[in-house]
Amino acid sequence: MADIKPFKGLYYNSDKVDLKKVVMPPYDIIKDKDVEGYYKNDTFNIIRIDKGMQEEGDDSPANKYTRAADFMNEWILDNVLDRDDKDSFYAYTQEYKMPDGKKKEMISFFAAVKIEEYDKRVILPHERTHDGPKADRLELMRATYSNTSPILAMYPDKEKKVHKLLAGIIRKSAPFISFKDLNGIKVRLWKLNEESTVKSLISMFKNKQLYIADGHHRYETAMFFRDEMRKKTGTSDTPYDRIMMCLISIEHSDISILPTHRVFKAFRDFDPEGVLMKRYFNVKKMKSAAALKKIIMKKTAVKHIGVIQERKAYLLSLKPVPYRKLVLKAGRIMEYYMLSPSILHTLIFEKILGIPEAEIFSNITYTQDMDEAVKYAMKDGYKTAFLVQSATTEDVKIISQKREVMPQKSTYFLPKLITGILINKMN
């Protein structure tokens, strides 16, 4: 099963830089308009490597990817970036804020994980990928020979064996990196290189499957890059056969999955209390959007969807028996159809309202912030908001195991890992 190894991490020298000014969120959640701000934070901000700006005159021999490689090599020579002289796993904790402002802390560790094809059932996906992001990550990997941002992957740990090992080390020893980023989020990193610890972790993962949470594009890019390097080197055992992952327990890491709500500026007129809606839902008109939000946020076996339309709020509670009959032979596993976004898209949009997929995706706005979704729906110029329930780590596990993928925008994992805390330099 999962083949994990320690590696010689590359990380910022805190004597040379102010750590909080050189790190950033994952490249794929940074908007283009915000890139310049990270450039201004510090001369050595990781954005110059992981999401560099295009410049006038960029061409094949000189572009943002070749500049990324130049920055990395220069910073290594100047000891701005240091590389460990000993292979290590790295225990990692990261605080994060929920939309309501509450702080939580994730516990995890970094490892170099052997890349496996999905059909080997060792590392499993839960979403589809698109070519654009993979092309970008491949060019960066070709230029830098590095994993500059980690993949987030889950592992089962019901008996808390891995969790107890990590928690014990974190409790008893001081981290070698500890700081708060510019948003006040605390991150800490420990080196795990004692022989007994390394052997224990490797052994614990020999029978484990891994489930990709965030980073499907990066993982599939790493597969392609591995194959490319095998052809160049003429060997099948290279440093490019592994990729850096941040590994989190399904049960005990204290991660969160937020739902992604759907808001529309334009939407077909429909009656939430119509006959067809009542065939599949118990429909309740709520006194307020605030009352609706409280129910949608609760963890419950009942499948709910919230609708806000013309400043009115409705709670839709699924009637599972007629819905199951409707989708029984629709071509996917039942666990897929019971996800909240699936109920919304398959039942309401497709079956009840008959809206083509192209029409839906041309008008849709996504947000993980329920308050923001409600505010959109209450504003002039916006027609309807649909509030969905969050998926669980168990949902991700089951969907992955059954060779299915989730609907688009089904999972939004928190925390979003800090980029720049650790790099895996493969050459």
Give CA separation, 166 vs 104, 173, 228, in Å: 17, 11, 35
Confidence of residue 78 (pLDDT cuts 50, 70, 90): very high
pLDDT value at 59 more than 90:
no
Mean pLDDT value across residues 106-135: 94
What's the rounded mean pLDDT across residues 316-338? 94
What is the mean pLDDT of the segment spanning 345-366?
92
C-alpha to C-alpha distance for 368 and 262, rounded to whole angstroms: 9
- Assign 132 a pLDDT band (cuts: 50, 70, 90): confident
Q: Assess whether the previous peptide bond of 415 is cis (omega < 30° from 0).
A: yes
Q: How many CA atoms lie within 13 A of 327 on its CB side?
A: 23
Percent of the chain with pLDDT over 90: 84
Average pLDDT over residues 60-67: 93
pLDDT score at 129: 87
Cβ atoms of 272 and 177 within 8 Å: the answer is: no
Cα dist from 78 to 71, 83, 367, whole Å: 10, 12, 42
373-406 per-position pLDDT tens digit: 999 888 767 889 999 999 999 999 999 999 999 9
Mean pLDDT of 232-255: 93
Distance CA 259, CA 99 (A): 11
State CA 327 to chain mean position distance.
Answer: 29
Whole-number pLDDT of residue 35: 95
pLDDT at 179 over 90: yes
pTM of the model: 0.93
Q: Tokens 């008893």 identify what position?
A: 172
Give the pLDDT score at 268: 85
Which residues lie closer than 8 Å to 398 by C-beta, 6 or more apart?
335
pLDDT at 99: 83
pLDDT value at residue 58: 87
407: DSSP letter: P
DSSP assignment of 15-53: TTS-HHHH-BS-GGGS-GGGHHHHHHH-TT-THHHHSPP
User: Could you give the percent of the chain with pLDDT greater than 70?
Assistant: 100
Q: What is the pLDDT of residue 180?
A: 95
